[in-house]
Amino acid sequence: MLSNLRIFSKSKLAGVLVAIIIVPFVFWGMGSVFQTGNTNNVVKINNETVSTKEFVNHINQSGLSLDYIRQNLDKNILEEMLSELVSDRLLKMEIEELNVNLSEKNLAKLIKSNKKFNDDDKKFSRLKYEKFLLEQNISAYEFEKRFKNNELKNNLFNYISGGIKSPYFLKNKIFVNETKKLDIDYFDIENSYNILITDAEIIEFINDNEELLKEDFIDFSFTKITPKNLIEIDEFNNDFFKRIDEIENEILNEKSIQEISKKFNLTLEEIKDYKFNEESDLFKEIYSKRSESKIKLIDKGDYYLLYEIFKLNKVLPDKNNIEFVNKVKKNLIVKKKYDFIQKLFEQIKNKELNDSKFVEIAKGKQNIKNTLIESINDIKYFDIKSLKLLYELSKGSFVLIGDANNKIYLAKINNINASKLLENSENSSKYLEKSNLKIVSDLYGSYDLSLNSKYKVKVFQKSIDRVKEYFR
């Protein structure tokens, strides 16, 4: 099975997927429900199971490249995709229980009303529909099944949130928050740091942080596996992937790397006291996994890399080494900057800042800039997260904010200019929709909690680990 999946993953069709809108649904606290055991299933929901094969197919059909998946394996990308799969399954179970239906006649009507399938006369075109299916490499049956599932989800949420109409005060609140203008003073706190690093501080920092400052050196064995050295031909064929599957099974059966290399006639190389440098991309990935001592098999595209780290040495560099001393100095500078920002944050929280202290920290009025922020989406100076924070604060507030270049600023809101939403204005319907969506979003959050208590979800960690190893 794995060999077939690998062949598919290397084909051009692997990245093709129809873009169908899915209502996202947050999957709760996965860490608390992880179980060991069952290696054929990844999830059990009440008495229903999701097999490992279903999960792998879901990943392959996600439209994400293999390289992207590999790069984000340690950032819980598979857990997120599993969350999506489980959420989808839960919604289907809810749809069945609540008897939410969509007739074939109404399904056909909805598809025909989709503007992307209209001709120049704004009528449904069978030719355009079939062309779309061909371009997306999907059958009419599969597309209509997915379209129906999506409509059923929408109908479910419409059923849950039916009859909602937002009051004026909520519409107005959203309007004011999005459209008000902020007059602010600000300055780059980089100019406020007054950092001097002494030799005594460097020595003290080294003595206090010896374990953290130690550098890692590894001993490891590795071999590059190609069709040439595994099956004596240059082609990635079924025989090659069958042998790769056999090697994976040997790893799962806890055979040593020496036993594996001997069985498959592979030549092992041994590297001792290695520390990563930019010259070797081959060893970079191995070094990044230095805390893991188990045997790994990684698909590198043109070849497979089999390796095992069998020793990790932590060594404190010579305290007189200039490169090491400069590294410590940089760490101290970062620490002092962090302490400075933390102190500012505490002063803001405790309302200890005033106009005179603001000028003092800026080291004079000449270093303070003034600007008018036109709306919550005005990103000329600051990033969107900082803007959202600014728009939550009142006149006279002090705040630490940032920009797209990760610079940090201390800012003060001098004035807020806001106007009310006119009930019959052209914006009224727009903010009615936004406020309705806000209410619905809160409602969905409650519904999520309801499903959490209604369905018993178990995720089998061992199966997830096997899937991760396959994609590595």
pLDDT tens figures, 29-48: 333 333 444 557 888 888 88
pLDDT at 27: 28
- Read off the pLDDT of each residue in 308-335 and give the average, rounded to a whole number: 87
Q: Are 270 and 264 in contact (CB under 8 A)?
A: no
Higher pLDDT, 142 or 422: 142
pLDDT at 107: 79
For 347-387, the pLDDT digits (tens) are 999 999 999 999 999 999 999 999 999 888 888 889 888 88
Continuous H helices in 182-276: 199-208, 210-213, 227-231, 238-252, 257-263
Dihedral, CA of residue 74, residue 76, residue 77 and residue 81, to nearest 10: 150
Q: Are 229 and 302 in contact (CB under 8 A)?
A: no
- Read off the pLDDT of each residue in 7-22 and give the average, rounded to a whole number: 29
**Percent of the chain with pLDDT strictly greater than 90:** 18
What kind of fold does domain 181-198+323-417 have according to CATH?
A: Chitinase A; domain 3 (3.10.50)
Q: Is the pLDDT of residue 278 over 90?
A: no
pLDDT at 35: 41
pLDDT at 433: 66
pLDDT at 458: 81
Query: Of 72, 472, 35, nearest to 294 (Cα)?
Result: 472
Locus of tokens 């090491």: 324
| CB contact set of 174 (below 8 Å; sequence gap of 6+) | 431, 434, 435, 438
Tell me, what amino acid is at 104? Answer: E
Q: Model-level pTM? A: 0.47
Alpha carbon 293 to its chain's center? 27
What CATH number is given for 2-162+446-471 in this structure?
1.10.4030
User: How many C-alpha atoms does 391 have within 13 Å on its Cβ side?
Assistant: 24
For 157-178, the pLDDT digits (tens) are 666 655 556 666 677 777 777 7
Q: Is the pLDDT of residue 131 over 80?
A: yes
